[in-house]
Structure 1
Amino acid sequence: MRVIVGFMVLFGVVLLFLMSRFNFSDTVNSILLSLIVGIVVFIFVSGLTYSSLSNRSDKLNNTESKIKKRKKKANLVGLIFMVVFMVVFFNFYLHIKTMLGNDLLVSLNIEEENFVIKNGEEVNIEITAKVLTNPFCKANCSLTLRDLSNDELIYEDNIFIKVSSPLSKEYKISSAWEQSGQKLYKVTLNCNNIEDRFCYSYSPSPALRTRIISVDHDLNEIQELIKNNLKNNIKDMNTEVYIIDNNLGDFNFDKPYLNLSDLRENSIIINNSLSSIKENMSSLSSLYLSQDYFKLGTDVYNLNQEIVKLNSSFNELNSSYFGNISLYNLVLANLSIMHQEIIYLEDYNFSEYSLELAKSFINDFNSFISIMEDKNSASFKLEKFNELSLKKENLSFVLQDELINNISRENKLNISIYEINLPKFNIEYKNYTLDFVLGEPSPICCLHNECYDCIDDASLNYPIIFVHGHSFNEKISPELSMDSFGGMAGQLEKDGGYLDAGYFYRSQYDEGSKGYLGRVNSTIVVEATYYIDTVVTDDGSFMLTSKWESIDTYASRLNDIVSNVKYITGKDKVIIVAHSMGGLVTRKYIQLYGEDSLEKIVLIGIPNHGVDGFVLNYCAVFGADLECSEMNKSSEFILNLNSVPLPDIPIYNLVGVGCFWEGSDGDGIVKSSSAYLDGAENIYVNGTCNLVDFFHVRMVHPSLHPEIYNIVKEKIEIKEVYTSVA
């Protein structure tokens, strides 16, 4: 008996030594603790049983063989109690661990979240997921990959994940786009614990993790060639239309001495066609800039056919217009020559016969000058001039004949030949050139079936950063702290206008990541934690959990978070929504780094003037001592924080009331007198407390307090509208 007890004691000491020297997993620790409890129970029960049997054997004066049998029974009883207590303790331990925050924690990681590809190529999305839960639990998870541009579900897998079996998946995303731009994809992991004999769950809702993947699409070589050809076609067509338009505008159909009414009618018809083509030409530029190359190709072909017809009609009009002017000038020039040739007739001697012919010709000549001055067609003028020329030739023949035959010529004309004072029309052929510039299309971004030019505006859609409060249990993962705002972030996305980008970890991004989450017309929402520090080395960046630092240190980490959220969204400011101690971290951040990067802040249940009483006394039971000491209402930190004026930005401070303790009203954790912040817009919200079910914790859950969610949403809204152009 003593040997067995001694062995058990030694075995228990060894187990305690191993647990103190090595960091075992939760599974191993729970088993070792159960063994130690079982050993203690075995020693106690077997010792008690052995003592009882020894007393009975002394009274009954039993034989040695019977005593040995009773010792075996004592060991057996001790062993049975040991096993029973091990099982009971193991169950109790798992229950307590679950209640203290080790229920179900899900981690979702993606190797790379920002890709640049050419259309037609594929990218591989490497996803790893693991769960942190009761070692005897198995999580039933749904893993989905959704195209946010059209809300199409690309992949969906239902899988079971155990603590010892992390998930590793690889998905392919192919690009069938005809444009250049950005598409966002959302990976969602939704897990529930499957309750079993040793598996317990107290989570009211599934554990949810999301990650946003950005894929920038560039045109491939063939698409780039088609695009450039279309661009050149548009340029040539615009130039041709420009030349026709300007030449048509140079035509003057109200010229004196010429009737161009027929040409005017033709020009009106051509101008109507030109107006229609010009209107369609502007749509070509819009199609090009919106990267609708398929429709653009069809419209370019159809419109080019119309331009060919227009050009033919214009050339015909142009030829007729300048032909009429040239013909008028030709008739005028010949008339001037004729005038010079006949001016001598005023002093010439005629026979009676030739005198009558000369008078008739001169009268016709003078009449033709009137015809030239009248507004009629150039062809009519030419016709009449030709008739006049025949008469002149006939008169010249008669005069020549009289001269040869010495016919008596003693008669004077006594008729004046009119002077020609008609102007010649100048013909100017202008060479119009067009320096047509068609800008390059902006990248196209699509979200929820709406497409537009990717946004490049640092002041539009400021991102929202949710900052959690004090961790009740410093032993649990920081991700559980970020879970507090998961419901609010998800509800904002459901309501529209917001995109939940999930948890925010990183503090270093490459140049290609600049602004990649700020191009869509939606406000990015992230849940951040100041409990994780990132160490950057030559081998990469490493995340370290650190939950026992000062609030000043947390404020420094928040500064990194703000800077990096601004970087990946391309915005110059952010909006912070903070809960509990997160509000103190936010205020300290402003005190240390200023408010230039903040548009506004929303504070929920903040101990602006510290905590006291039972909250302070029990704060450090599970939480970090330093955090709790700094939140003491008499601490130097609180006094210093409230000694500085508030920043000149909107501050909305939600104060919880309805729970009464220690003679004060509040949210069960923070007294209303402590939450009130002079200089902020204080908004009182009502709730109730029930034992350890504090209103303070429930304030950030939209399903439990939708009225608080509505207030937060109202305060973070920025009334700006971005108009779709695609």
Structure 2
Amino acid sequence: MRKTIRKVIMLMLLLVLLLVWTSFLYFKEVRSPPYEYPSSDSEVIKPGENEDENITLAEASPYPIIFVHGWMGKSIDYLEYEVKLEREGVAIARGLIDRYSNEAICPEKWPVGISVSSEYYYTDNLNRGIEDYAKELDHAVRLVMNCTGSDKVILIGHSMGGLVSRKYMVDYGNEHVEKLITLATPHYGFNSFTRTEIILMAIRLFTGREKEVDQMRPGSDFLNQLDKDDTSNRDRIVSIGTYNFANESVSFGLAILDPKGIDYEKSFFSNSDVIVKLDSTKLAGAKYYQIEGCSHTELLDFRKSYPKGPISNPNTCPDAYNIVKKEILIIQPESSE
């Protein structure tokens, strides 16, 4: 009995110490100068306001579609998207593509207008980098092209999936991507608060996936190099970012608690989906849409703050879905060359 009580007391003391330590790191991080994201001259397109109406849409997707999940995500994350696209006649859902699929033999010839979900997390590549996940995506793309006969695909990447897709285009398949659509992707890194050792400690402890998170730090060597390497691809990239006004009230509350130490307009909640700031989703040279009211992920689906739900769910965030659907169906004008 005494041993049990002693263990409980020790656990409580550890929790108190952890709380004090994380609070110190939190305020240290918030007080530090905010990261200055690179400027972008991309026009901000908002649904129903300044969209280009002089476009031609196909009846169905002219290319196979591959969904690329985000950090700690799974291929099933895009199930709702695949189902909705199929119901509306945009693409035929074909399920999961992974490294264990036989790329040499297709069970049947697939129609070009299909959608599949890719997987890049495996037990033998945990704590590897985004470049390793891009290699896994290359396998999926080659399989889809082999089974459909198409020489190009459309990639749709949520969060880190957008970075994996960009890295794939640089290293493997620049000529095989007709278009890349990114949803809430941290092109220039995630929010400053999520950069603290608090988050990294949890990642090391529970997942072992540290490298990819370090690569998504604002100003990381990986992001800087990727930004230099894929500039020629920007005309084929569409980025969608989201934010919510509820974040502003949270940031303002922090400023009231510590008015001298916090610039709430630059705090980690301001102009963001909590995980990614709008400035980070706005990739220079890429087509850029901005929507309001959707959360970054199902894990942060705060219904009161984000009445429209996660950006990766077409039923709770219809603005993002409608943009994705339109961009899939846009027929690019033929080159005059």
Query: Shared fold (TM-score greater than 0.5)?
Result: yes
Contact 1:507 1:564 in 2 (8 A): no
Choose from 689, 703, 707 the match for 2:315.
Answer: 703
Residues 523, 635 of structure 1: alpha-carbon distance in 2 compared, 3 angstrom cutoff: same
Distance 1:530 1:572 in 2: 22
Indicate the SS of the match to 2:174. coil
Choose from 212, 215, 219 the match for 1:634.
Answer: 219
Choose from 152, 171, 180 the match for 1:601.
Answer: 180
Structure 1 residue 510: Cα displacement: 6.2
Specify the code of the residue in structure 2 equivalent to 1:625: E
Specify the code of the residue in structure 2 equivalent to 1:630: Q
Distance 1:610 1:461 in 2: 32
Which consecutive unaligned segments of at least 5 residues does structure 1 have? 1-40, 48-459, 472-479, 533-543, 721-726
Find out whether 1:657 has 2:243 as its counterpart. Answer: yes
Distance 1:651 1:633 in 2: 20
Residues 511, 527 of structure 1: alpha-carbon distance in 2 compared, 3 angstrom cutoff: closer
Indicate the SS of the match to 1:665. coil
Aligned to 1:206: none
Choose from 267, 272, 290 the match for 1:666.
Answer: 272
Aligned to 2:77: 484
Structure 1 residue 717: Cα displacement: 1.2
Specify the code of the residue in structure 2 equivalent to 1:592: D
Aligned to 2:4: 44
Give the 5 Å matches for 1:637-648. 637-644=222-229, 645-647=231-233
Distance 2:154 2:300 in 1: 31
Find out whether 1:466 has 2:52 as its counterpart. Answer: no
Structure 1 residue 591: Cα displacement: 1.6
Choose from 681, 684, 690 the match for 2:287.
Answer: 681
Specify the code of the residue in structure 1 equivalent to 2:4: F
Question: What's the TM-score once normalised by structure 2's chain length?
Answer: 0.65
Structure 1 residue 515: Cα displacement: 6.8
Deviations 1:297-316 (A, max 9, x none): xxxxxxxxxxxxxxxxxxxx
Aligned to 1:77: none
Contact 1:514 1:569 in 2 (8 A): no
Structure 1 residue 546: Cα displacement: 2.8
Deviations 1:278-333 (A, max 9, x none): xxxxxxxxxxxxxxxxxxxxxxxxxxxxxxxxxxxxxxxxxxxxxxxxxxxxxxxx
Find out whether 1:495 has 2:79 as its counterpart. Answer: no
Deviations 1:194-249 (A, max 9, x none): xxxxxxxxxxxxxxxxxxxxxxxxxxxxxxxxxxxxxxxxxxxxxxxxxxxxxxxx
Contact 1:665 1:671 in 2 (8 A): yes
Aligned to 2:325: 713
Deviations 1:491-517 (A, max 9, x none): 111112421111111455365428711
Give the 5 Å matches for 1:409-448. none
Distance 2:212 2:4 in 1: 42
- Structure having greater relative contact order (Cα 8 Å, sep ≥ 6): 2
Which consecutive unaligned segments of at least 5 residues does structure 2 have? 7-60, 252-266, 333-337
Give the 5 Å matches for 1:318-717. 461-471=62-72, 481-506=74-99, 509=102, 511-513=104-106, 516-518=109-111, 523-532=113-122, 544-617=123-196, 618-620=198-200, 621-622=202-203, 623=207, 624-644=209-229, 645-647=231-233, 649-658=235-244, 659-660=247-248, 661=251, 662=267, 664-687=270-293, 692-693=300-301, 698-717=310-329
Deviations 1:328-384 (A, max 9, x none): xxxxxxxxxxxxxxxxxxxxxxxxxxxxxxxxxxxxxxxxxxxxxxxxxxxxxxxxx
Distance 2:91 2:109 in 1: 15
Distance 1:505 1:689 in 2: 28
Distance 2:295 2:118 in 1: 27
Indicate the SS of the match to 1:500. strand
Residues 689, 572 of structure 1: alpha-carbon distance in 2 compared, 3 angstrom cutoff: closer
Specify the code of the residue in structure 2 equivalent to 1:698: P
Rg bigger for which structure?
1
Distance 1:637 1:464 in 2: 26
Distance 2:279 2:105 in 1: 48
Structure 1 residue 581: Cα displacement: 0.5
Tell me the matched-pair count: 245
Contact 1:502 1:525 in 2 (8 A): yes
Indicate the SS of the match to 2:171. helix
Contact 2:138 2:173 in 1 (8 A): no
Identity %: 30
Indicate the SS of the match to 1:596. helix
Provide the alpha-carbon RMSD of the alignment. 2.9
Contact 2:99 2:136 in 1 (8 A): no
Structure 1 segments (4+ residues) deviating >4 Å: 688-692, 694-697
Distance 1:470 1:512 in 2: 30
Question: What's the TM-score once normalised by structure 1's chain length?
Answer: 0.32
Distance 1:599 1:670 in 2: 26
Distance 2:166 2:177 in 1: 11
